[in-house]
Each structure stands twice: as C-alpha cells, then as structure tokens.
Chains A and B, each alone.
Chain A
C-alpha cells in the first residue's frame, strides 16, 4: 500500500461538485441509476468500475456532452444545468478525454486555447496565447516539447496527454475530469501524467480520475468511488480501502473484507 494521504478526506474539504439521484438511459438500457457522488476540492477522486459500469456515461453527464435524464448536479452548493460543454467549461469543469479531443492539425497553442482564444482588437492575440501556453507547460514541468508552435500531430501520446492537461490548468478549471489518462501510455509517460495529476491537486484543483488501472488509482487517488452496473456502490478514502476490496466492489457490489486484512 502506498502511504496514506491524510490531508484530503471527504470530511474536511469543501464539496465542489455534488451529484444527487443522477440517472440516464439509452433506450431500454439503464446506463446510470440514482448516482450520488461528492467531489471535494483539492483532492483526486478516482472513479473505477468494470467495462460498462457507467463511468464514461457519468463523466459525460458532468462535462455536458450528454446531460442526465434525471437527478441534480450542484456546483459549489448551487444547482446547475450542464447541457453543453460550454456550460461546463464556463463553470470551471474541464474534461481530458480518453480520445484526447485534440486537433492534430492545430499547434499546441491553438489547441490549448481552442474555444477561448484571446483576442486583441478582434484579432487573435498570438503573442499572449503563445506566452501563456509556454509558461503553463513549463509550470507543469512539461519540458519535452520542442516548440509550442509544433502541430499536435507530431507529439507522442504522453506529450498529447500533457497538452490536454495543461489546457485544463491554463483555463484555471477548478475540476479536471480525466478519462483513462494513462490507458495508451508507456511506463515513463504514465509516470509523467500521474505526476501532473498530483501537481494539479497541489495547486488546489480537484481531479476526477476515471481509470481501469488500479495501480495508478491507488498511487494518486485520495478517494475511490466504485461503480457497478450503473450504480455507485461505494466511496471511501484510499486509506480505508485496498485493491482486494475495490475488486470485490467492482465485481459483486459488496465486500466482506476490511482494510486490516493484508492484500
């Protein structure tokens, strides 16, 4: 077990995002049923579950890609309707998608500012954007990128993921949602991305991390939420769970183990 992270538990941090009774159906398929989840500020909340458990559907509800059928979403205690990605972005929710959602034919600066370009007398303010992009990348210690004017097509998987995360930082998003950020990455690049996740949290941003990889989850998460068959079956601090418990919850929805039992 990695060391416990004492500071950030659900009890002593303010709740940034609260989902209550969120449900969503695609035709006859009930993808989400009555999901209740709190995402606290300044912490990594991991969302785990088997394939088809509803993780991706849930984050699509939060990021405005496909709004829920029922239930409420409260942002900083105020009820909100997130019915488009723009609304989510404006609230301060930025999603780093599994398929990255970057445009290969644009350069790093254009991608980082896509949808929120800085203007100067109606024209793009390239200088300001380029400086801000370069500064953000260096703040995040992303140093492997040759030039911020490189096309994203020429970047490696890890670099692309870094750019996507840097975009969230640049826009000062309070909540960064990451969908399988390490799924396609090698060892060194996974390391880089996980470090970035911790950097975000140290800067006070909240992270909602969707992942299959329990090793990654236990390494960076403060809290782990487990989904099964469209329901959220359990949320607990990382210190009070372990891999065996999480696997039990993912597969059967319940567990008879406690954290005292060695893994």
Chain B
C-alpha cells in the first residue's frame, strides 16, 4: 500500500485505510442503513438462548436439520422480498407453493408418469403464470395487491383442495424429486463444491475491488478484502465440517443436503438480478418513489408485474422443496401460516414493509431465524401455540427496528 501514489485531492479516498473505511461503515449504520446486522444479532441471541436451555441445539445434526427445515421459509422469504421491495405484498405465496407441489406430485404419479424434470418445469410454469395473473390484476386494473393476493390465498387453497379431494394426499415416489430435500452430497463433493463457490466469489470480489482501485474510486482496503475472503472460507469449511459429521441415529447420515444448494442458487440469481442488473435498480426505484421512476421513463406496470411473477416463481420452488421433504402433498399443508412466516422472514431479515429497502439475503436470514425459533422451541418441547407467540414477538420487534431505522433515515 505504501507504494500507492498520494491522492491528488484529500477527498479522493482511493486508498482508504481500514480504520477510515470502518468509520464510513459505522456512519452508514448510524444513518439507518443497518443492513443485516440486526438479524445476525437476533440469530446469535436466539442460538445462545436455546443452547443454554438445551445442549442438543448446537450439535452438528441439529444445525444441519435446522438448515433443511428452514429451506422452505428461506425460499418463501425471498419470494416475499421481491414484492415487498416494490411496496406491494403477496399473501398468496403459501398456497401458490401448495399449487406448485400439487402440480409436481400429480404429474409425477406413476399413472401420469412425467419425468422428474418435466414435473419441476411444469410446476414452475404454472406458478409463474399465477404470478402473471395476480400481477396483471394489480398493475393493469390497479387493484390493491393486498386484496388480489388475499383472494389468491383463498382461491389457490381451493384449487389445491379440489385436486387433492377431501383429506386427500398424493405421494411422491420419484427418486430424484425426493432427493431434492433428503439427498446429500458425498463428503468429498461437498468440499469441492464449497471450495469452488467460495473461490469464485473471492475472485469476483477481488477483481471488482482491484478495478475500483485502478480507477481511483473509493475501495475497501486490501486488508478488509482479504479478511472477508478468509472469513468466507472459514464459514464454508465450518458448514461442510458440520454437514459431513455423522448425524444419523440408527444408520449413518452425513453430507451437505442438496436443498442447501437449491436455496443458494436462488439466492445468487435473485441477488444478481437485484444488485447487478438494470431490472434491480428499477425495482428499488419503483418501491422508493414510483412517480420518480415513472418520470425517469421506467415502465412501472412491467416492473411490478415482473416482481409478482418472480415472487410466485420463487414460491413455486419453495413448494417443490416442501413436497420433496414430506415426500407427498396433502390437504394438511397450512399455506396461511406459511405466508405469515414468509412475510415475517423477509421483515425479520431486514426488508422494509414500506418498499424500496431489502435484499434477497434478508429472506434467507429471516428464514433461518424463524426456523431456529421453531426448532429450538421444538427441542424444548413447547407447543405450536408458544412458537406462534414467540415468532409474533420477533416479527413485531423486527418491524419496530425497520420503522425506527426509517425515521432515523428521514430525520
């Protein structure tokens, strides 16, 4: 760093010191851009509480279980983030996931006999069309999304019950479909996948920071970039070590669950779309100030409709994971509770209910927190009633943080 030429003007921080950079970050946090800090803090807090109350909580087996349990919440949380960003809400995601599961299971029955990939494709196409329908009602006719998707919640629940029949269920016997949730990578493959993913991420981040430095734009200090990369490797290695430990009770079970990669893939694609593409900027612009977006020449209807389509599509993926985990879909699926968890996951993760602020990762982190509460209270033998109460309290706390951060930002 010492060979770096002195900046021409003092305000050009092209070579920020670590301390200076951390100071800037701290200023942002104080300004209300708290990012993922509250939810990370919440997760650590929840984990400490449960670990103190029950030593079972922080075991390799339970943590990986937790990850698998939270997959549906994470996916639904990400789905909800996409519409919350636009300042809308989608209350139908739970039963849209249900419809997806029904389509998948129905087509995969031996008497219908579609191959596994075709059933997945069909489920996703159906859910995307549902999103298109609901999104069009909201944007073209101008109905409030609350009402349209509340109608959707009932309607798709009805459709599900209609197909499944009273108290009915469809079992899934297809091997691949079942493996989505319960299959695992072999130990060495888990390591390879982790190392490749982290290395790719590190290379991209390294290149981006290097470019900023050569263009004499403010860039994070080298030491921080290296710290991040080391931390990512450590985190990845920790995850693989946990996953590769034997967590079976009767027979040995080990390896990274496939479903973790499914969630990761959705997270990466949506993060890329929201963060690196023009579409993403437009989503934030529409959610932040729709009139400003319109005056900038952005087609509001198209962006909003696309948001609903992507939301329903993500809910469709969640439905596939749900059905795969239960190896069936039945009328006992509670889409109403799922949608509340989806909104809660997004908001607990740090996405604003008021539009314009949020990220895909918020759905994932919020989903983990919700699953952690469920899982930990389950271990402690609490009833569903107690779980609801605690989840509700966490949700209200999260919304309060959101509202306070907003007030701080505008004040």
Which B residues from 140 to 183 make CB contacts under 8 A with A?
none
A114 near B294 with CB under 8 A, answer no
A97 near B295 with CB under 8 A, answer yes
Chain A residues positioned under 8 Å from B24 (CB to CB): 147
A220 to chain B, nearest CB (A): 24
**Count of interface residues, chain B, beta-carbon cutoff 8 Å:** 30
Chain B residues positioned under 8 Å from A70 (CB to CB): none
The reply to whether the CB of B217 lies closer than 8 angstroms to some CB of chain A is yes
A180 to chain B, nearest CB (A): 16
The reply to whether the CB of B297 lies closer than 8 angstroms to some CB of chain A is yes
Which A residues from 127 to 171 make CB contacts under 8 A with B?
127, 130-131, 134, 143, 147, 149, 151, 153-154
Chain B residues positioned under 8 Å from A123 (CB to CB): 276-277
Which B residues from 276 to 295 make CB contacts under 8 A with A?
276-278, 281, 284-285, 287-289, 291-295
Chain B contact residues, majority secondary structure:
helix
Chain A residues positioned under 8 Å from B410 (CB to CB): 104, 153
A84 near B297 with CB under 8 A, answer yes
The reply to whether the CB of B218 lies closer than 8 angstroms to some CB of chain A is yes
Chain B residues positioned under 8 Å from A147 (CB to CB): 24, 218
Chain B positions 206 through 229: 1 when the CB is less than 8 Å from some CB of chain A, otherwise 0 = 000001100101100000000000
Which A residues from 94 to 110 make CB contacts under 8 A with B?
95, 97, 99-106, 110
Q: Given A103-B285, A105-B356, A151-B33, verify A114-B212 contact (CB < 8 Å).
A: no
Chain A residues positioned under 8 Å from B278 (CB to CB): 117, 119, 124
B217 near A130 with CB under 8 A, answer yes
Bound-complex Cα distance A100 to B212 (A): 30
Chain B positions 253 through 289: 1 when the CB is less than 8 Å from some CB of chain A, otherwise 0 = 0000000000000000000000011100100110111
Question: Which of B215, B276, B289, B291 has the most CB atoms of chain A within a 10 A radius of its CB?
Answer: B289
B296 near A127 with CB under 8 A, answer no
Further 20 A-B residue pairs, CB within 8 A, beyond A85-B295, A143-B11: A85-B296, A89-B296, A97-B295, A100-B292, A101-B292, A101-B295, A102-B289, A103-B284, A103-B289, A104-B288, A106-B284, A110-B284, A110-B285, A114-B281, A115-B293, A115-B296, A117-B281, A127-B211, A154-B31, A154-B409
17 A-B interface contacts by CB (under 8 A): A63-B295, A65-B295, A85-B296, A85-B297, A86-B297, A101-B289, A101-B291, A105-B357, A110-B285, A114-B293, A124-B277, A124-B281, A127-B212, A130-B217, A143-B11, A147-B24, A149-B218
